[in-house]
């Protein structure tokens, strides 16, 4: 189990791997049946989470930084257009689940 803060009772760890201070967990949130990839870099003190589709689970677990980059997750501040694009993408994803 990771040192990350996913000890929340609603999250179940489906898979986990760690190497050289990098911890990656595949989590399932039972209440709303979401899959999440959580990445914790214990050396840098950095962490992020990605909500993913079931069809992407294994690939996102194995390549979380690629998925984060594709989705616009970054440690640097995004420009205004990137924020606008991310909002549109999130709205479309939300509407497709209704």
| Residue 53 per-residue DSSP state | -
Across the range 53-69, mean pLDDT stands at 93
Model confidence at 62, pLDDT cuts 50, 70, 90, reads: very high
17, pLDDT greater than 90: yes
Across the range 37-55, mean pLDDT stands at 89
> Which pLDDT score, from 0 to 100, does residue 61 have?
97
Q: Which residue has the higher pLDDT, 5 or 70?
A: 70
Where are the domains positioned within the chain?
11-96
55, pLDDT greater than 80: yes
Of 31, 32, 13, 50, the C-alpha closest to 97 is: 32
Global pTM reads 0.65
């Amino acid at each position: 189990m990771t040192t990350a803060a996913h000890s929340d009772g609603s999250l179940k760890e489906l898979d986990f791997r760690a190497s050289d201070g990098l911890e990656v967990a595949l989590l399932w949130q039972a209440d709303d049946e979401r899959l999440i990839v959580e990445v914790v870099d214990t050396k840098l003190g950095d962490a992020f989470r990605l909500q993913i589709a079931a069809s992407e689970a294994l690939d996102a677990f194995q390549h979380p930084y690629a998925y984060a980059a594709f989705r616009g997750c970054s440690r640097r501040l995004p420009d205004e257009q990137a924020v606008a694009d991310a909002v549109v993408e999130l709205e479309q994803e939300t509407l497709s689940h209704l």
